[in-house]
Amino acid sequence: MLDFPRWKTILVSLAVVLGAILAAPTLLPSQWTDGWPESLRPKVNLGLDLAGGSHIMLEADILDVRKQRIDAMERSIREAMRGQPGGADDISIGDLVRSANSISFLVRDSSKIDEVRERLNALTTGAGLSGERTWTIEVRDSTRVVMTQTRAGLDQFVTDAMVGARDIVEKRVNALGTREPTIVLQGNDRIVVQVPGLQDPKDLKDLLGKTARLEFRMVTVDPAAGEPVPAVPPVGSEVVPYANGQGMEIVSRQVMISGDQLEDAQQGFDQQTGRAVVNITFNSQGATIFSRVTRENVGKRFAMLLDGQVLSAPSINEPINGGNAQISGGFTTESANALAISLKSGALPVKLTVVEERTVGPDLGKESIEKGAIAAAIATLLTLGFMLVVYGRFGLYADIALVFNILMIVGAMAIMGSTLTLPGIAGFVLTIGAAVDANVLINERIREELNRGRKPLAAIETGYTEASRAIFDANITNVIAAALMFAFGTGPIKGFAVVLTIGIITSVFTAVTVTRMFVARWFRSARPATINI
């Protein structure tokens, strides 16, 4: 028991001092710490319910998902019927007829219907564990093929798209420089975004509501100045409106290059006009394609489309090499920066619409913090008084350990960048009471040993040894419960689990190791014949 080596004393003291230093920026008034370097003042973040902020719920557009699947399948069918390069095994088919949920086409040579079915089967997969295919294939009148989306296939596609959308939303929100946002899936088609400290959700809503699907396409009809754009586009083209509502362009349906081939996007300014623009850089594949297409189309115009609307349609004066381009479209600095963030994070795999937005004021959080601080102060004082009255010197050591425990919890949360929510305050107050449980067990065990007639040293040694086993066993189960809450819970529940886990670890350390160090040093110097506990 008294064998508490110097190196161990040094390590324990360093851990306690480090916890106090890390907790200082959070506990001290901000005017005292504002002058400190950023790296030396980690602070505990406050959650949405304490700091106020913005709450936005996004919902996937299922019709857009269906349309994407139809578009993708149409391209796949054309590719599949084209066969191997050279065209020797091409299968001639009629026009593809689309509906909201299916695609049909005519096979000109009925003898090849089996081969068509075989190629189409390769385009479908199993949907999850149900065994159902993502598409059904039906042959009518020996020559007409109808492919229909199944419910299971659509559900799987929506699920995959929502997981991807959540990751992209997280990238975009983090790019705003916000701290500890909460981004979780809700149900099958919704994403909840909570950003503490953001009082005006407009910019966030604009950023998240943009799909950011960037496409470069050639302008196929270029009417003379003053002439209107033809109402009926030629085959393989479509009429696309400008984003500012001023005019139309007829562009090819074939995408020359897309945002998937971007490497970087940065907000900048046009050197001639001084207006805000977005400078983009293609990856090697995109740069090669962009260079080739512009070289083959000098004198023509190409259109830059964002989410199905034309931003600009400049002329190609010379081949554009190097993989760099500039997007202009009447941006402000803020909107250009938002577009750059959206392009860098990638296009959303599904169109998301804001169906709920709410701003949480900081007043409620301020009241919660004040009441939480009062509750924590009262809990701490009552616990300190109880331990001191009941256990004397040993209670004093437990009280000191409790104060160290509070500092270490705050310090650990600060260095981990954890967020304190309202449930987190509850967890914090709970750990204050639970922190001395271990010392109660130890002290009661020492009392029992003394009552049995053991000498003070033997009683203390047995008390710490026997109680420590029960303490570790009990707290391991608590840590397991907290880990499960963190794994399966959402924002506030996770916050509670984090505070609880940190509190359990630091309370066991301070209650067992720190108090043992105090007792060992006192007993070694005083050598009491009896102890009062």
The tens digit of pLDDT for each residue in 114-171 reads 888 988 988 888 776 667 888 999 998 888 999 998 888 888 888 888 888 888 888 8
193 compared with 211, residue with greater pLDDT: 193
Beta strands 214-221; 257-258: pairing state: antiparallel
Residue ending a domain, choose from 113, 133, 155: 155
Quick check: is 175 in a domain?
A: no
Can you give the three-state secondary structure of 421-478, one letter per residue? CHHHHHHHHHHHHHHCHHHHHHHHHHHHHHHCCCCHHHHHHHHHHHHHHHHHHHHHHH
- Residue 240 and residue 354 share a domain: yes
Looking at residue 49, its pLDDT comes to 73
Phi, psi of 512 (to 5 degrees): -95, -55
486 compared with 3, residue with greater pLDDT: 486
- The tokens describing 292, both together, are 């080739």
Residue ending a domain, choose from 304, 324, 359: 359
- The torsion region of residue 31 among left (phi > 0), alpha (psi -120 to 50) and beta comes to alpha
Looking at residue 179, its pLDDT comes to 61
Q: Which helix (H) or strand (E) holds 523?
A: helix 515-526
- Residue 226 and residue 98 share a domain: no
Looking at residue 323, its pLDDT comes to 80
270 compared with 86, residue with greater pLDDT: 270
Quick check: is 179 in a domain?
A: no
Domain around 436: 6-51+362-526
**Can you tell me the distance from the alpha carbon of 464 to that of 441, in angstroms, rounded to the nearest whole number?**
9
Quick check: is 176 in a domain?
A: no
- Residue 510 and residue 372 share a domain: yes
Looking at residue 86, its pLDDT comes to 57
The fraction of the chain above a pLDDT of 70, given in percent, is: 93
Residue 44 carries which DSSP code?
Answer: P
Q: Which helix (H) or strand (E) holds 326?
A: strand 324-331
Residue 224 carries which DSSP code?
Answer: P
pLDDT in tens, 375-384: 778 888 888 8
Residue 308 carries which DSSP code?
Answer: T
- Residue 367 and residue 341 share a domain: no
- Residue 120 and residue 29 share a domain: no
- The torsion region of residue 328 among left (phi > 0), alpha (psi -120 to 50) and beta comes to beta
**Residue from 134, 129, 65, 131 nearest 100 by CA:** 65
- Residue 445 and residue 298 share a domain: no
CATH number at residue 218: 3.30.1360.200
**Can you tell me the distance from the alpha carbon of 302 to that of 315, in angstroms, rounded to the nearest whole number?**
7
Looking at residue 380, its pLDDT comes to 81
Quick check: is 182 in a domain?
A: no
- Residue 481 and residue 393 share a domain: yes
- Residue 88 and residue 30 share a domain: no
Cβ density class 276-299: b for 16+ within 10 Å, e for less: bbbbbebeeebbebbbebbeebee
What average pLDDT does the chain have? 83
Quick check: is 170 in a domain?
A: no
Q: How many CB atoms lie within 10 A of CB 350?
A: 22
513 compared with 377, residue with greater pLDDT: 513
**Residue from 354, 96, 63 nearest 207 by CA:** 354
125 Cβ contact partners less than 8 Å away, ≥ 6 residues apart: 133, 134
Looking at residue 145, its pLDDT comes to 92
**Residue from 478, 532, 533, 530 nearest 505 by CA:** 478
- Residue 222 and residue 303 share a domain: yes
Q: Cβ(199)–Cβ(53) under 8 Å?
A: yes
Number of structural domains in the chain: 3
pLDDT in tens, 55-114: 888 998 888 888 888 888 887 888 888 766 556 678 888 888 888 888 999 988 888 888
Mean pLDDT across 316-326: 81
- Residue 498 and residue 466 share a domain: yes
Residue 355, SS3 per DSSP = strand
481 Cβ contact partners less than 8 Å away, ≥ 6 residues apart: none
CATH number at residue 121: 3.30.1360
- Residue 132 and residue 111 share a domain: yes
4: confidence class by pLDDT, cuts 50, 70, 90? confident
Beta-strand runs (E) in 19-117: 45-46, 53-60, 97-98, 102-106
Quick check: is 497 in a domain?
A: yes
- Residue 352 and residue 216 share a domain: yes
Quick check: is 165 in a domain?
A: no
CATH number at residue 447: 1.20.1640.10
Residue ending a domain, choose from 321, 343, 359: 359
pLDDT in tens, 274-319: 888 888 888 888 888 888 888 888 888 888 888 888 888 888 888 8
Quick check: is 447 in a domain?
A: yes
pLDDT in tens, 403-447: 999 899 988 888 887 777 777 777 777 777 777 888 899 999 999
